[in-house]
Amino acid sequence: MDNAVKERILELLEKDAKLNVPEIAVMLGLEEDEVSAAVKNFEKAGIIRGYHALVNWDKTNDEKVSALIELKVTPQRGNGFDKIAEKIYQYPEVDSLYLMSGRFDFTVMLRKATMKEIAHFVASKLAVIDGVQSTATHVVLLRYKDRGFVMTDEEKQKRMMVNL
C-alpha cells in the first residue's frame, strides 16, 4: 500500500472516527484486510493516538469553559523546551500543549474548567514552573468552528435578505 493511500485512510479517520474498516475499504476501493492491517499498524506505531467524539458543550447545561494560555519561558540548558513541556503536559487539566513560534513559546489548552479552576491552575501550577517568564490567559467565549466542524446553529447564521 503506497503512502498516498495510507494518508487517505488517516484523513478519513481523522474526519470521522466512526468509520469502520468495511466503509473505508469501499470508499478507497481496497480490500478490508488491507485497511484493517493499515489501521492496526497506525495504532501500533503511535500514529493513531486515540479516537474522539467532538461534543458541542454549548448545547448542554455545562457551565464550564475552555481557556488558551500563552506561556513565555526560558529554555533549559541541554533540554531546550522539552523538560518544561513534560512538566506541563503531566497535569491532567491540560488538554493540549503546543510549542509555538512567535511572541510566546507554548500554548496550553484547558477544556471544561471553571474560571476559578483556570485561575488556580495558572497561578499555582504554571506560573511557578522554573523557566516560566509570563502567562497570558484567554477564555474561549464561543466556538464557531472546531476541528473542521461548524459549531453554531446554522439557522442563526442565515441572515434575512433585504431588498432596497
pLDDT digits (tens, 9 = 90+) for 26-85: 999 999 999 999 999 999 999 999 998 888 888 888 889 999 999 999 998 888 899 999
The mean predicted confidence, pLDDT, of the chain is 91
* Helix or strand (DSSP H, E) at 69: strand 65-73
Interatomic CA distance for residues 51 and 160, integer angstroms: 39
Q: Which grid coordinates belong to 67?
A: 481557556
From residue 56, give the alpha-carbon distance in Å to each of 107, 128, 136, 144.
Answer: 22, 33, 25, 10
Residue 134: CB partners within 8 Å, gap ≥ 6? Answer: 71, 72
Is the model more confident about 163 or about 117? 117
Measure the CA–CA gap between 81 and 104, rounded to whole angstroms.
Answer: 12
- Angle, to 10 degrees, between the axis of helix 21-28 and the axis of helix 32-44? 120
pTM of the model: 0.79
- Residues 89 and 108 sit within 8 Å (Cβ to Cβ): no
Would you place residue 152 in the very low, low, confident or very high pLDDT band (cuts 50, 70, 90)? confident
Residue 97 has what pLDDT? 98
The answer to whether the CB of 96 falls within 8 A of the CB of 89 is no
Q: What would the grid cell of residue 84 be?
A: 518544561
